[in-house]
Amino acid sequence: MKLSLPCPRPRQGPVGALLLSALVLLAGCAGGLFPKPPSAPQRFTLDDAALMVMPPPAASTSVLGTPTLLIAPLRAAAGYDSTRMLYLRQSRQLEAFAFHEWVDTPAQMLAPLLLRSLQASGAFRAVLVGPTAASSNWRLETELVRLQQDFTRQPSRVRLSLRAVLVDSAARQVIAWRDFDESVVAASEDATGGAAAAQQAAQRVLAALAAFCAGQVPYAVLH
C-alpha cells in the first residue's frame, strides 16, 4: 500500500521574501519605469471644403479657338518638399512643429486644388494633368516657393508663395509668368491656427493664378 505524502514546500527565508517583494513592486510600477510611446502627430490638409468655394465657370470664348492647358507636376523649393509644418521664430531660421504635420507634401496637396481652380474658370477647352501623352496648346509650370508660419511678429501669419510660368507648347516660348504671394493672419498662435490660415492663403493664391491664366486666353484666340 503506497502512501501519498505531501510535497515539501521550500522554506522562504529572509532573502527569498525580500526578492519576492521586489518582484511584486517592479511588476506594479513597470508602467512608470518605461517611457510611454509618443502619441500620433496631428495632421492637417490644405483642402477645406468650407473655404474652397469656386466661382461658377466663366463663359469661354470660341471653343475652337480656346487653348487646352496642361498642368505640369508642381515642384517645391528646397526645404518645402516634406510633410513638416514649418515656422519662423527668428528671421531666415526655419523650424518644424514636433507633433503637427501635413497629411502630404504641400505640393501634392496643392496640385488637385490647382486643377479644380483652373477647371472652374471655364477659360480653357480642357485642363490636363501631366505627365500625359495627350498634346496641349499651353503648359503651366508652377513651383511652391514657401509655406511657413511667421512668429517673428504678433499675431503670427502664414505666408504662401507660388511661382507660375505659362508656356506655349508648340513654340516652346514663355507666354507670361508671375509670382503669387499671400499672407494670412492666424486665428491662434499654434499649428492649428496656422493650418487654417494656410488654407485661406492657398485659396487666394490659386484663385489669382487661375485668373492670371484665363487673362492670357484672349491673346491666344486673336493670334
Q: Which of 176-180, 207-211, 217-221 has the lowest mean pLDDT?
A: 217-221
Question: Residues 51, 52, 56, CA angle at the centre, nearest 5°?
Answer: 125
Q: Which of 25-29, 116-120, 133-137 has the lowest mean pLDDT?
A: 25-29
- Please give the C-alpha separations between residue 154 and each of 96, 98, 157, 186, 188, in angstroms, as whole numbers: 19, 21, 8, 10, 10
Please, what is the angle between helix 106-121 and helix 191-214, to 10°?
40
Q: Which three cell numbers stand for residue 51?
A: 473655404
Cβ atoms of 66 and 125 closer than 8 Å: yes
User: Is the pLDDT confidence value at 35 over 50?
Assistant: yes
Domain ranges of the chain: 65-222
User: Is the pLDDT confidence value at 16 over 90?
Assistant: no
Q: Give me the pLDDT at residue 57, please.
A: 47
Q: Give me the pLDDT at residue 40, please.
A: 78
65-222 architecture in CATH?
Answer: 3-Layer(aba) Sandwich (3.40)
What is this structure's pTM? 0.77
pLDDT tens for each residue of 160-174: 999 999 999 999 999
Mean pLDDT of the chain: 84
Beta strand pairing status for 126-129 and 68-71?
parallel
**What's the rounded mean pLDDT across residues 60-64?**
50
Pairwise pLDDT comparison (141 vs 54), residue with the higher score: 141
Q: Which of 18-22, 137-141, 194-198 has the lowest mean pLDDT?
A: 18-22
**What's the rounded mean pLDDT across residues 13-22?**
58
pLDDT category at 134 given cuts 50, 70, 90 is: confident
Contacts of 171 (CB under 8 A, 6+ apart): none
Q: Give me the pLDDT at residue 3, please.
A: 47
User: Is the pLDDT confidence value at 42 over 70?
Assistant: yes
Contacts of 110 (CB under 8 A, 6+ apart): 46, 74, 144, 162, 202, 206
- H helix or E strand, kind and range, residue 31: helix 14-33
User: Is the pLDDT confidence value at 55 over 60?
Assistant: no
Give the C-alpha separation, 29 to 93, whole Å.
Answer: 43
